[in-house]
Structure 1
Amino acid sequence: MRKIALTGSIGMGKSTVAAMCAEAGIPVFDADAEVRTMQGPGGELVGEIDALFPGTARDGAIDRELLAARVLHDRDALAALELLVHPRVRDRRERFIAANAAAPALLFDIPLLFETGGEGDFDTVIVVSAPPDVQRQRVLARPGMTPAKYDRILERQLPDADKRARADFVIDTGGSLDETRAQVDHILACLGLRAAR
């Protein structure tokens, strides 16, 4: 089984590329989606996060905006949160691998792959990238996003150029969806997972 990591900074198009890989028949593990589930209504981390950051739980779920406001300015608070969350994500990842043991390849959508030193767990690393103006426009179009919040998020992410330099493959999502899909197909063909169209 080939384990493929998909990463890239915020707003680069990881979800789009992951969906294209899923359409090609590759099971996808979405680390962010797993975190949202664990922090959502009845999620396994709700009580622990609220104990660590009192008042962040609302109606049985973590208020992600409130939690972000508490940790994005405080490096120690962010580290404490990551110490709680990352092992649980790893546990879910291991269960995903076991559940898909017969698949020839698995894709892991992990936004902070390089920031957490996790790239060594994978056979191939794909970085999704886009021009800075495209990235900014995409992110600022998200509900609740502000320029200040966007800048804080970027501060804790490795620069795009560094990620590109460390990748096995780079997908540029600054063009059309068809151009992105052609790059995905080419990479899958290079990995022996699907013929290029």
Structure 2
Amino acid sequence: MNTRPKILGLTGSIGMGKSTVAAMLRELGVPVFDADAAVHELQGPEGALLPLIEEAFPGTTGAGGVDRPKLGAAVFGDKDKLARLERIVHPAVAAMRGDFLRDNAQAPLVVFDIPLLYEKGGHQGLDAVAVVSAPADAQRARVLARPGMTTEKFEQILALQVPDAQKRALADFVVDTGIPLEETRKQVAGIVRTLTRAE
């Protein structure tokens, strides 16, 4: 008898369609913990981390929560400051993830949506990892269509991420979003079936 849900890590580089796949998993009734959404909540208006962030980085928070451009400017390119911010944020996200697991203890499968799973070593404790992937030209077109995105910014982001080919090689499952949505949906359903099959 399995005492806890199986945990699937969901990741993928920028513009690969990870949010779309996370939505498909939710449609199939699989609980999804979104690490980015947790950070937004913690750093949003009246967020639990605002006092700690303001203390560490004065002038980066306000009534609307963290001023992302200001905080980004405060830590950008400074490994020590970034590490300090991570020491504030990561334990709080881990606590929210623990609550999520307790709330969904009866589910056969849960998903941790972790954008920088391989970059930050977040694959410990997972039963499997699914990488969302698409052809490089599709990825580029999606990202450059975003408001405020430039080719230079896109290249900078890519340089900080583990290359897509490496992620695919490390993954237990690869979800292709460079194909019609219905085909992607079938792939996602197949992964859920594989992971929830009775042992």
TM over 0.5: yes
Runs of 4+ in 1 over 6 A off after TM superposition: none
Cα pair 1:72 1:152 within 8 Å, conserved: no
Residue deviations 1:91-130 (CA, integer Å, cap 9, x gap): 1000000011111110110011111212121001101111
Instruction: After superposition, give the CA deviation of every residue in 1:166-196 in whole Å (9 maximum; x if it has no partner).
Output: 1000011112211211211121222236xxx
Q: Distance in 2 between matches of 1:15 and 1:84?
A: 25
Count residues with an aligned counterpart.
Answer: 193
Paired residue for 2:98, among 94, 100, 106?
Answer: 94
Displacement after TM superposition at 1:154 (Å): 2.0
Paired letter, 1:96: F
Whole-angstrom distance in 2 between the partners of 1:46 and 1:138: 32
The correspondence for 1:182, drawn from 175, 178, 186, is 186
- Superposition deviation, residue 7 in structure 1: 0.7
Residue type of the partner of 1:32? Answer: D
Say what the alpha-carbon RMSD is for the aligned residues: 1.6
Q: Distance in 2 between matches of 1:178 and 1:111?
A: 23
Q: Is the 8 A contact 1:72 1:153 kept in 2?
A: no
Segments of structure 1 that go 5 or more residues without pairing to the other structure are none
Q: Does 1:139 align with 2:107?
A: no
Aligned mates of 1:63, 1:139 — CA distance in 2: 23
Correspondent of 1:119 among 113, 120, 123: 123
Tell me the residue number matched to 1:41. Answer: 45
Q: 1:159 aligns with which of 157, 163, 179?
A: 163
- What is the identity percentage for the equivalent residue pairs of Structure 1 and Structure 2? 57
Distance 2:78 2:87 in 1: 14
Confirm or deny that 1:57 pairs with 2:91. no
